[in-house]
Amino acid sequence: MSSSPDIAGILENTKELDRLRKEQEEVLVEINKMHKKLQATPEVVEKPGDTSLSKLKNLYIQAKELSESEVTVSTILLTQLDSLLPSGPTGQQRRKLGNDQKRKRMKVESDVQRVSPSVRNQIEAYASLRGEQVAARVTADDAEKDEWFVVKVIHFDRDTKEVEVLDEEPGDDEEGGGQRTYKLSMSCILPFPKRNDPSTTQEFQPGKHVLAVYPGTTALYKATVISTPRKRKSDEYLLEFDDDEEDGALPQRTVPFHKVVALPEGHRQ
């Protein structure tokens, strides 16, 4: 039913992935130029006021940040694709490959090489979230509404691909009060942008629907982007939250960029 928005989201992220890879290529070209320059004239770094080494360092930092962004976008893409693919055939295919691995090694080797890095990147990305705050959907797949909260990752099980999270500030109406833990699938987790790294964060344009932490709470709701951090020359978005009506109008609220994520496909609110 929701295939078109699903596909639209996937296409948007593939474009972002292309952009990141092109930027990486440009940075690598610059790094190679610097390497050649330093190999040809190593004595240049000893000249007073020469900035060659600091430029090289900044290029490496940029390359690292772009690479990390690529992992994040790849992770989101894999989650989106997982939600569209039926789980049965994939599992059967994996078992088949495992049983016949020796006999079919030559035939499937190229496929394995092509798929493995992405899967490995996805697993590493989730494993590296331990101790970090993320957005998590804590309601069941068939629930009437999706509820997303800010939680802390306490463990990632590489075998079951489940993420164990801690809801540090459950609401007053939660049964039993106190902190709660959940074991959730990877598709229920959305990493937040890195707070100290706004330059490599995907910026959502005005009119785009997002999921954002409502000010003063640990709950995330659907919102529409009114203005971007870049345009506002700050680290905050200006957003209008759905169902946030006051005196017949939607108030515009500021939310830090690191508390805003892409709206999941088929979100129910």
**Whether pLDDT at 136 is above 80:** yes
Residue range 183-189: mean pLDDT, rounded: 91
Q: Same structural domain for residues 169 and 221?
A: no
Say if CB 192 and CB 261 are below 8 A apart. Answer: yes
Q: Same structural domain for residues 171 and 137?
A: yes
Q: Same structural domain for residues 213 and 255?
A: yes
Q: Is residue 1 part of a domain?
A: no
Highest mean pLDDT among 50-54, 74-78, 156-160, 253-257: 253-257
| Containing structural domain, residue 223 | 208-262
Q: Same structural domain for residues 163 and 218?
A: no
Residues 6+ apart with CB under 8 A from 121: 71, 74, 75
Q: Same structural domain for residues 173 and 227?
A: no
Q: Is residue 111 part of a domain?
A: no
Question: Given pLDDT bands bounded at 50, 70 and 90, which one contains residue 117?
Answer: low
Residue range 136-141: mean pLDDT, rounded: 86
Q: Is residue 91 part of a domain?
A: no
Question: Given pLDDT bands bounded at 50, 70 and 90, which one contains residue 173?
Answer: low
Q: Classify residue 131 by burial, with Cβ atoms within 10 Å: 0-12, 13-18, 19+.
A: exposed
> Of 205, 219, 254, whose CA–CA distance to 234 is shortest?
254
Q: Same structural domain for residues 233 and 177?
A: no
Residue 171 confidence (pLDDT): 62
Q: Same structural domain for residues 185 and 226?
A: no
Q: Same structural domain for residues 171 and 235?
A: no
Helical packing angle, 101-127 and 87-99, nearest 10°: 130
Q: Same structural domain for residues 222 and 255?
A: yes
Q: Is residue 216 part of a domain?
A: yes
Q: Same structural domain for residues 14 and 75?
A: yes
Q: Is residue 87 part of a domain?
A: no
Residue 177 confidence (pLDDT): 58
Residue 119 confidence (pLDDT): 65
Rounded Cα distance, 140 and 14, in Å = 28
Q: Is residue 144 part of a domain?
A: yes
Rounded Cα distance, 196 and 199, in Å = 9
Q: Is residue 267 part of a domain?
A: no
Q: Same structural domain for residues 212 and 248?
A: yes
Mapped onto helix, strand or coil, the DSSP state of residue 265 is coil
Residue 2 confidence (pLDDT): 44
Q: Is residue 123 part of a domain?
A: no
Please report, for the domain that includes residue 247, its CATH number.
Answer: 2.30.30.140
Residue range 154-176: mean pLDDT, rounded: 79
Tens of pLDDT along 205-224?
999 999 999 999 999 999 99
Residue range 107-129: mean pLDDT, rounded: 62
Identify the weakest region by mean pLDDT among 66-80, 126-140, 210-224: 66-80
**Whether pLDDT at 229 is above 60:** yes
Residue 133 confidence (pLDDT): 93
Q: Same structural domain for residues 215 and 252?
A: yes
Domain count, the chain: 3
